[in-house]
Structure 1
Amino acid sequence: MSELPAYAWLLLGVAAFLVGFSKTSLPGINTVLIAIFAALMPAKQSTGALLVLLIVGDIFAVWTYRRHARWRVLLRLAPAVVGGLLLGVLFLALADDSSVRRVIGVILLVVVAFTVWRRWFAGPAASAATGSPGPGARWASIGYGSLGGLTTMVANAGGPVMSMYFLAARFPVKEFLGTAAWFFAMVNVAKLPFSVGLGLVTWGSLVLDLVLIPGVIAGALLGRWVASRVPQRVFEVGVLVVTVAGAGWLLV
């Protein structure tokens, strides 16, 4: 920590603020903060440090939107997410950091393109399929759930993928944020023991997190204020924009 220059602390503070803001207002923006952490810290250490901050943000998100989750959707996603997590472990064992970033960036762009087509060009029935128990919902759950599990295990980057899933389901803002809050709270807590066992979460990273947690809290409080006032259409466009921007960042 003492080796970090002043500009690094400033950027980490901004990233911590974005952690909280993304959890309570604009999911998908976390690809930007992932890039900040990875640029300032060794890749593995950044993953562990960021995971703890994400869990802190999850606590605020769950508390804020605890009554708005769609549990049937979460249960439908569970098997595919577990499979994606295991695939992510295998992928990490075989791929280098550069390949990981580019593969995730390509996945995100493909998911965005598919979601835009599904949401605005394939008609209301196709757009709403993920919110129903039919075949469309089943295949969407498998596809998005697997990719969400893979990307969150590899780089804490599952937010944009799952944002596209919830966006395609036409969730209202609070149901979107509530379902996402419970989803990532459970997934991130499940990842924590593995991260500790792999040495990704250390006493040093916990001290760093302790310094940055106030930024997470500030971002979460501002995000909650923004989410209660943003129109549905603006929210949906914002999710798409930050997801595309984050995917492009990972590809560069």
Structure 2
Amino acid sequence: MSIDPSIYLVAVPAVILVGLAKGGMGEALALMGVPILAMAVPPVQAAAVFLPLLVISDIVSLWMWRRHNDRRTLQFLLPGGIVGIALGWATSAYVPRDALRLIIGAITIFFALRYFYGQWRLRHGIVIPPKSQRVGPAAFFGMLAGYGSFVAHAGGAPFQVYALPLKLPPRDYTGAIVRYFAILNAVKLIPYFALGQLDKTNLTISATLAPLAMVATAAGGYLVKRMKTEVFYPFMYTMALMAGLKLAYDGLASLV
């Protein structure tokens, strides 16, 4: 199958946004990638093209954030994430993706608005302590992140719902989310290959876009590393709110 060069007119900005997100700048940017590329190719093909690019971006991110991590967050969230991928592989043909987007979007919007309400309370002298690691919520949101990541590359929002209230140091938080999705994306290669989505055409498109993905990821990491804590968390919650609104809008619009 020949590749229409016009694909790259939409692929280039999509890859830049996803690369910046993979560098640590927030799930909202990453969510724009597949819909933008889907303007030129079918949505399933867009997701398949992006998976190798996500893996390449993960490698760059892992190197940039190699000294930062929160191991306990990974230990709590990873089992659910792997289960979520397995469930996605088994049921993706039966579960409407638009309904999933709407559910994840609604949860994320509520969570982000709760944060901004908490900031309002903080300005009035009410301090909200960090959440502790909890097995039940970690299993649920980890599984939702794995499932959303498999069917729609939309797993970042559930991760944020669980991890942001922990109030980790910004660099440790970013190192944890980078490692989490690097592992999930590597695992996803197996079912994507088994489903025949990593064919020669898609891999060729991915290969030509790989250098751009690497540069954009490095740029995103460079910017995030220079954010102060008082800037980082409002920025990340704003990105989460934007991601939730985008997911909810896409899901609701398609269902209606």
TM-score, L = length of structure 1? 0.86
| Equivalent in the alignment of 1:133 | none
Alpha-carbon distance in 2 for matches of 1:216, 1:189: 16
Task: Name the SS of the counterpart of 1:185 in structure 2.
Answer: helix
Does the CA-based 8 Å contact 1:58-1:185 persist in structure 2? yes
Does the CA-based 8 Å contact 1:129-1:169 persist in structure 2? yes
Alpha-carbon distance in 2 for matches of 1:140, 1:101: 19
Alpha-carbon distance in 1 for matches of 2:46, 2:104: 17
| Equivalent in the alignment of 2:109 | 109
CA RMSD of aligned residues (A): 2.4
Does the CA-based 8 Å contact 2:10-2:36 persist in structure 1? yes
Matched, 1:169 2:196: no
Task: Name the SS of the counterpart of 2:67 in structure 1.
Answer: coil
TM-score, L = length of structure 2? 0.84
User: Structure 1 counterpart of 2:220, which letter?
Assistant: G
1:91 Cα deviation after fit: 4.1
**Change in 2 beyond 3 A, CA 1:169/1:73:** same
1:128 alignment partner, one of 123, 127, 131: 131
Task: Name the SS of the counterpart of 2:68 in structure 1.
Answer: coil
1:48 Cα deviation after fit: 1.2
1:21 Cα deviation after fit: 1.2
Fraction of identical pairs, as percent: 24
**Change in 2 beyond 3 A, CA 1:116/1:201:** farther
User: Structure 2 counterpart of 1:165, which letter?
Assistant: Y
Structure 1 residue ranges without an equivalent (≥5):
131-136
Task: Please list the CA deviations of residues 219-241 of structure 1 after superposition, one character each: whole Å capped at 9, or x if unmatched.
Answer: 12211221221122222122222
| Equivalent in the alignment of 1:201 | 198
**Change in 2 beyond 3 A, CA 1:157/1:118:** farther
User: Structure 1 counterpart of 2:215, which letter?
Assistant: A
Structure 2 residue ranges without an equivalent (≥5):
251-256
Give the 4+ runs in structure 1 shifted more than 4 A: 113-123
Task: Please list the CA deviations of residues 110-166 of structure 1 after superposition, one character each: whole Å capped at 9, or x if unmatched.
Answer: 4434565678869543x3313xxxxxx223312321211121111111122213322
| Equivalent in the alignment of 1:38 | 38
Alpha-carbon distance in 1 for matches of 2:202, 2:55: 14
**Change in 2 beyond 3 A, CA 1:161/1:19:** same
Aligned residues: 243
